[in-house]
A and B are shown apart, each in its own frame.
Chain A
Amino acid sequence: DQQVKQNSPSLSVQEGRISILNCDYTNSMFDYFLWYKKYPAEGPTFLISISSIKDKNEDGRFTVFLNKSAKHLSLHIVPSQPGDSAVYFCAAWGHGNQFYFGTGTSLTVIP
């Protein structure tokens, strides 16, 4: 049973506009949420994280929002750049000291 879900397999955005990537989870006991960025044939790299006690965390062009009541988090990228084109994975930590990953969203930023 998938505990972390990314329901949009792909997203296309014009350069300079906002990219919004969504993630839903089912386990309210998760402590910590992370976003990873992955290029083909490479390992994922850490992008940004948020603790379950916060509702927003910002780092430059990247902002993660957490809505605990809806068990939903989102990653906002503003402004989007062509180099942001990659697969983005949402992950949750906790519940047995494991990471749980979503299936990923492939973002394409069109110049």
Chain B
Amino acid sequence: DGGITQSPKYLFRKEGQNVTLSCEQNLNHDAMYWYRQDPGQGLRLIYYSQIVNDFQKGDIAEGYSVSREKKESFPLTVTSAQKNPTAFYLCASSIGGTTNEKLFFGSGTQLSVL
């Protein structure tokens, strides 16, 4: 059954700590994305990757880092530089390179600060 798996579902971060959110897809998609959702707000793009070993900053990349060493995996690290990390984080993927792209989302990770 193809899809996107995010883990963990819930994550708590202590002040000054880096935490990593996992995202794996078995859809054979080239493009992967990380979004952040805050209450009452839309989805804001953190980072995206259109191909392995390449990624670009989105609108709110400060305090975050990513890697794309494998096509299936796009982990997001929330660093201690991110001063307001509490949010719902969504990973998504799309085929890539088409004119009518469609995003497929994981089930999300809720990150909270202790």
Task: Answer yes or no: B34 CB below 8 A from chain A CBs.
Answer: no
Pick the contact of A97 from B50, B106, B107 — CB < 8 Å?
B50
Instruction: Count A-side interface residues using an 8 Å CB cutoff.
Output: 25
Residue contact B100 to A51, C-beta cutoff 8 Å: yes
User: Within the assembled complex, what's the spacing in Å between the Cα atoms of A43 and B88?
Assistant: 10
Task: Answer yes or no: A89 CB below 8 A from chain B CBs.
Answer: yes
As a 0/1 sequence over residues 21 to 37 of chain A, the CB contacts with chain B under 8 angstroms (1 = contact) are 00000000001101010
Indicate the size class of the contact surface on chain B.
20 to 34
Tell me the interface secondary structure of chain A in the complex.
Answer: strand
Residue contact A98 to B48, C-beta cutoff 8 Å: yes
Task: Answer yes or no: B74 CB below 8 A from chain A CBs.
Answer: no
**Known contacts A31-B100, A32-B100, A49-B102: does B43 contact A101 (CB below 8 Å)?**
yes
- The listed residue with most A CB atoms (<10 A of its CB), out of B40, B90, B103, is B103
Residue contact B42 to A46, C-beta cutoff 8 Å: no
**Known contacts A89-B43, A101-B43, A103-B41: does B108 contact A42 (CB below 8 Å)?**
yes
Task: Answer yes or no: A65 CB below 8 A from chain B CBs.
Answer: no
Contacts of A44 in B (CB 8 A): 43, 90, 103, 105
Residue contact B99 to A32, C-beta cutoff 8 Å: yes
User: Within the assembled complex, what's the spacing in Å between the Cα atoms of A101 and B60?
Assistant: 14
Residue contact A46 to B43, C-beta cutoff 8 Å: no
User: Within the assembled complex, what's the spacing in Å between the Cα atoms of A4 and B40?
Assistant: 15
As a 0/1 sequence over residues 71 to 103 of chain A, the CB contacts with chain B under 8 angstroms (1 = contact) are 000000000000000000101010001110111
As a 0/1 sequence over residues 20 to 53 of chain B, the CB contacts with chain A under 8 angstroms (1 = contact) are 0000000000010101000011111100101000
User: Within the assembled complex, what's the spacing in Å between the Cα atoms of A89 and B103?
Assistant: 12
Contacts of B45 in A (CB 8 A): 98-99
Residue contact B108 to A99, C-beta cutoff 8 Å: no
Measured CB to CB, the residues of B under 8 A from A are 4, 6, 31, 33, 35, 40-45, 48, 50, 58, 88, 90, 92, 99-108, 110
Offer 10 A-B interface pairs, CB within 8 angstroms, sorted by A. Answer: A4-B42, A31-B100, A32-B100, A34-B103, A36-B105, A44-B43, A49-B102, A98-B58, A101-B42, A103-B42
